[in-house]
Copies of this chain bind each other. A is one copy, B any other.
Amino acid sequence: MINKPFLHTILSPKLLNLYNLTNSIVVIIDVFRATSTITTALYNGAIKVIPVEAVDKCISIGNSTPNSITAGERDGKIIEGLSHGNSPTEYPKSFIEGKTLVLTTTNGTKLLHMALQNGAAEIVIGSFLNLNNICNYLVQQNKDVYLGCSAWKDRFNLEDTLFAGAVIHTIKNHFTIHCDASLMAEEMYALHKNDMLSFIKNTTHWHRLASYGLEKDLEYCVTENIAPVLPVYNYEKGYIESVF
């Protein structure tokens, strides 16, 4: 019998340091909206996405990078001093193709930097928009996997958990899973995969962002496989690029 690699789900960045990420792949999940925006920008032809933690660093990297866009949000709103926000709808092909996106967000880019600091061997960017690409890659790599939910200011959220559940639902037979968070996430996804759009409207993050008029954004962000790319973090260069 071949030993299958392990798969765990981490429900909040606060729980990341409970796990040893060495030699593992970490999937960064921030469905509303950082990882959906990154996936969309790369699908629409962005050359790369540079994830940065702080706003001032975002601005300075933007100033020194030719043909770049600075973008980001804090608490769901565009930040003063940056040119764009964290909405995937802001990055159609006609606008983003050939450009570099320099992005800072409340939850998603923070988790990516935590995973780096905690020794993750590989980091990929997951969203419903590129679900199958993520699943295929994880199966091919044959390494331990951590599905990292960005959460909302470290509080558990459902949209990231549901995406973790979608991954598990698809590839669980390829992994050893002794993890209650994964068991729960898969059950929640199985329960709601056929009513995702109506169910997601019950979540706290939906209410928060819908109050800013972002319903269309959110509906887009729970649509499976409409931006089929594989965004991978390039350790040497410090940016995210699509490898196919």
**Copies of this protein, total:** 2
A203 to B156, alpha carbons, bound, how many Å?
20
Residues from chain B with Cβ under 8 Å of A157 in the complex: 180
Count A-side interface residues using an 8 Å CB cutoff.
26
Q: How far is the CA of A95 from the CA of B188 in the complex (A)?
A: 43
Given contacts A15-B154, A154-B15, A203 and B183 within 8 Å (CB-CB): yes
Binary per-residue interface labels of chain A (72-86) against chain B in the complex, 1 for a CB within 8 Å, 0 otherwise: 000000000000000
- B-contact 0/1 string along A213-231, CB 8 Å cutoff: 0000000000000000000
Which residue on B lies nearest to A180, using beta carbons? B158
Q: Is the CB of B180 within 8 A of A156?
A: yes
Residues A155 and B18 in contact in the complex (CB < 8 Å), given A184-B161, A184-B184: yes
B interface footprint on A12-31 (CB within 8 Å = 1, 0 otherwise): 10110010000000000000
How many Å from the CB of A5 to the closest CB on chain B?
A: 17
Q: Does A204 contact B (CB under 8 A)?
A: yes
> A11: nearest residue on chain B (CB-CB)?
B156
A202 within 8 A of partner (CB)? yes
